[in-house]
């Protein structure tokens, strides 16, 4: 069911979607519904600023490192100049959220829209937009969850002192966060400082495949600047310091008044051994400590895992006693972005000892074919086991699943049964984890709209809603997954057997 001349054929396509909603779809034997989750558990969806806002050069906004990266030919050769034009269409999109039944919505603020110079004067137009956006969400009963940085550091700070490579970023990020707390904190209770810091550092400073595109041979792609051996460790260190400084500010000046919560986001790979051999089991454990412990250990215990410090040596920065105290316990919750599980094979005996980066330090081969595939394999046990790992290894911190979703090729189809299968399986795994004692408190499907994806541009689709880029109005169309999610949120039992059917909701 390909989208052709979508504006004129919308009524016909909507009819087809409605019919398809009644089709028999067999996925799982596990029955659950919205009421099975604990009181206070929230369901939502998410997007980020550069992926959907557009208006990149309007009303005082200045470029971010993602603008620069995209215009250099990365991000699938696409850019966010227009994207989904949410900047002008936010009321329409909030209405879609309400009709879908979203209880919460996660979005990010564009630092360079709010403070174009990176520091200093606030942009009145940017401030007005985010105030209006937040007010619109609240008017529809939707709880805003705000991320302060989602891969889009102001380019001016990158140019001035190297962005996250400099300790100067701690002061500037904290000041930016304070503007957000001051201006929006009377309505926003849930703040995530930095999105998936671990993958941002690896992708942006080791492999060079995401902004700002830094790396060094032989580790990265098209490396022209950077040092893959040291920079990922420096970047995460400065992110943790910026986050903990921000948390200190919030607790000192805003917590008692606004009663909000501040968290930190990680990309939650789950690594499993390639075989049952002791070497592969140990390699998988190392991979989990490197990707997850890299962030979680400082936040919970005040220092990096010993296996990382041993492998990286002087290449990984050290926390002073004051910094360790500041970082330890500096989260109210952890945001988890999880998409897939990867297998790990030991290669500690074959790796070169004289050339090291983050990946080499793990001394393992990690199978990441799923990331390059058109769709993720459906392995909900990986999310369950990851949540259990966080519970057992890190004292069961409050968790919000901030991103989880299925990718498909962006080919115009509204018939995304693969996405329904994925969401059904993974939401079920979250329920199982909660029943097993995990303090998981929310789930956000990624994503609300088909936007610009960091690695695939507009060639990949994650959205519950299709956005027709060939239509000057950028019209949104609900996919089958939007109907499925709406039905679930409105209390219908999830699709579980040949007898179950999807009632129709007019989104």
CATH number at residue 243: 3.20.20.80
pLDDT value at residue 12: 30
Which helix (H) or strand (E) is 17 found in, with range? Answer: helix 6-20
Output the pTM of the full model.
Answer: 0.92
Q: With 80 as the cut, is the pLDDT of residue 39 above it?
A: yes
Burial class (CB in 10 A: 0-12, 13-18, 19+), 313: exposed
Residue 437 tokens, joined = 């004692």
503 confidence band (pLDDT: 50, 70, 90): very low
pLDDT top residue among 378 and 222: 378
Residue 439 tokens, joined = 């303090």
Residue 498 lies in a domain: no
Residue 172 lies in a domain: yes
113-141 per-position pLDDT tens digit: 999 999 999 999 999 999 999 999 999 99
E strands along 282-321, which residues?
A: none
CA distances for 204 relative to 112, 235, 273, 376, 405, angstroms: 19, 10, 27, 22, 22
Mean pLDDT to the nearest integer, 290-295: 98
Of the listed 136, 231, 363, 403, which one is catalytic? 403
Residue 12 lies in a domain: no
293-314 per-position pLDDT tens digit: 999 999 999 999 999 999 999 9
Contact assessment for residue 403 and residue 46, using Cβ atoms and an 8 Å cutoff: yes
Residue 504 lies in a domain: no
Q: With 60 as the cut, is the pLDDT of residue 320 above it?
A: yes
- DSSP for 314-360, written as a single string: GGS----HHHHHHHTT--SEEEEE---EEEEEE-TTTS-SSS--HHH
Contact assessment for residue 496 and residue 27, using Cβ atoms and an 8 Å cutoff: yes
Mean pLDDT to the nearest integer, 250-277: 97
pLDDT value at residue 505: 41
16 confidence band (pLDDT: 50, 70, 90): very low
Closest CA to 345 of 417, 270, 281: 281
pLDDT value at residue 27: 34
Residue 249 lies in a domain: yes
Residue 503 lies in a domain: no
> How many residues appear in the chain?
507
DSSP state letter for 72: T
- DSSP for 406-455, written as a single string: --EE-SS-S--HHHHHHHHHHHHHHHHHHHTT--EEEEEEE-SB---BTT
Cis (ω within 30 of 0) for the bond into 126? no
Q: What pairs with residue 430 in β-bridges?
A: none
251 confidence band (pLDDT: 50, 70, 90): very high
Q: With 80 as the cut, is the pLDDT of residue 29 above it?
A: no
Contact assessment for residue 69 and residue 75, using Cβ atoms and an 8 Å cutoff: yes
pLDDT value at residue 367: 86
pLDDT value at residue 226: 97
pLDDT value at residue 495: 55
Residue 7 lies in a domain: no
276 confidence band (pLDDT: 50, 70, 90): very high
359-412 per-position pLDDT tens digit: 999 999 998 877 778 899 999 999 999 999 999 999 999 999 999 999 999 988
Provide CB contacts within 8 A for 187, sequence distance 6+: 134, 135, 138, 144
**Number of compact structural domains in the chain:** 1
Torsion, CA 49, CA 131, CA 404, CA 80, rounded to 10: -10
Range of the domain at 402: 49-490
353 confidence band (pLDDT: 50, 70, 90): low
Mean pLDDT to the nearest integer, 233-248: 98
**Residue 473 catalytic?**
no
74 confidence band (pLDDT: 50, 70, 90): confident
436-487 per-position pLDDT tens digit: 999 999 999 999 999 999 989 999 999 999 999 999 999 999 999 999 999 9
pLDDT value at residue 412: 81
Q: What is the overall mean pLDDT for the chain?
A: 91
For CA atoms 247, 319, 214, 336, the dihedral sign is negative
Q: What is the largest CA-CA distance in the chain?
A: 65
Q: What pairs with residue 266 in β-bridges?
A: 336
Contact assessment for residue 138 and residue 187, using Cβ atoms and an 8 Å cutoff: yes
Contact assessment for residue 329 and residue 259, using Cβ atoms and an 8 Å cutoff: no
Of the listed 196, 289, 385, 453, which one is catalytic? 196
**Calpha distance 15→20 (Å, rounded):** 9
pLDDT value at residue 94: 98
pLDDT value at residue 63: 98
**Residue 403 catalytic?**
yes
pLDDT value at residue 76: 76
Q: What pairs with residue 273 in β-bridges?
A: 344
Provide CB contacts within 8 A for 246, sequence distance 6+: 148, 173, 174, 177, 193, 262
């Amino acid at each position: 069911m390909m989208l052709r001349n979508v504006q004129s054929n919308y009524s016909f396509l909507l009819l087809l979607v409605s019919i398809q909603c009644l089709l028999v779809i067999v996925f799982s034997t596990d029955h659950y519904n919205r009421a099975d989750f604990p009181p206070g558990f929230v369901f939502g969806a998410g997007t980020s600023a550069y992926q959907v806002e557009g208006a990149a050069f309007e009303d005082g906004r200045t470029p971010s490192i993602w603008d620069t990266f995209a215009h250099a030919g990365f991000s699938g050769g696409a850019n966010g100049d227009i994207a989904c034009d949410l900047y002008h269409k936010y009321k329409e999109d909030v209405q879609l959220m309400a009709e879908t039944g979203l209880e919460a919505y996660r979005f990010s603020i564009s630092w360079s829209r709010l403070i174009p110079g990176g520091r200093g004067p606030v942009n009145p137009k940017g401030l007005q937009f985010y105030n209006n956006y937040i007010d619109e969400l609240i008017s529809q009963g939707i709880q805003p969850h705000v991320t302060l940085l989602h891969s889009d550091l102001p380019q001016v700070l990158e140019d001035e002192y190297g962005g996250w490579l400099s300790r100067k970023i701690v002061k500037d990020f904290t000041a930016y966060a304070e503007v957000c707390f001051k201006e929006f904190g009377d309505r926003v209770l849930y703040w995530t400082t930095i999105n998936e810091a671990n993958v941002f550092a690896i992708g942006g400073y080791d492999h060079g495949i995401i902004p700002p595109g830094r790396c060094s041979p032989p580790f990265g792609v098209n490396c022209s600047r950077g040092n893959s051996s040291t920079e990922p460790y420096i970047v995460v260190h400065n992110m943790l310091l910026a986050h903990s400084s921000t948390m200190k500010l919030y607790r000192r000046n805003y917590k008692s008044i606004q009663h909000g919560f501040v968290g930190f986001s990680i990309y939650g790979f789950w690594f499993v051994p390639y075989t049952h051999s002791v070497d592969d089991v140990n390699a998988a454990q190392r991979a989990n400590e490197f990707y997850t412990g890299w962030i979680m250990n400082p936040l919970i215990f005040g220092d990096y895992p010993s296996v990382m410090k041993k492998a990286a040596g002087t290449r990984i920065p050290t926390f002073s006693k004051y910094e360790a105290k500041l970082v330890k316990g500096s989260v109210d919750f952890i945001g988890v972005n999880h998409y897939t599980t990867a297998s790990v094979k030991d290669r500690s005996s074959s790796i070169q000892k004289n050339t090291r980066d983050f990946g080499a330090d793990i001394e393992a081969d990690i199978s990441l074919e799923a990331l390059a595939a058109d769709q993720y394999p459906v392995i909900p046990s990986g999310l369950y086991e990851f949540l259990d790992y966080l519970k057992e290894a890190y004292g069961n911190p409050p968790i919000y699943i901030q991103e989880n979703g299925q990718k498909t090729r962006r080919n115009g189809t509204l018939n995304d049964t693969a996405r329904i299968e994925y969401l059904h399986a993974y939401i079920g795994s979250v329920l199982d984890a909660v029943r097993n004692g995990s303090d998981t408190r929310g789930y956000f499907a990624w994503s609300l709209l088909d936007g610009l994806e960091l690695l695939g541009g507009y060639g990949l689709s994650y959205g519950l809603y299709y956005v027709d880029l060939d239509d000057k109005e950028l019209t949104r169309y609900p996919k089958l997954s939007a109907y499925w999610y709406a039905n679930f949120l409105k209390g219908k039992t999830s699709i579980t057997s040949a007898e179950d059917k999807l009632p129709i909701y007019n989104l």
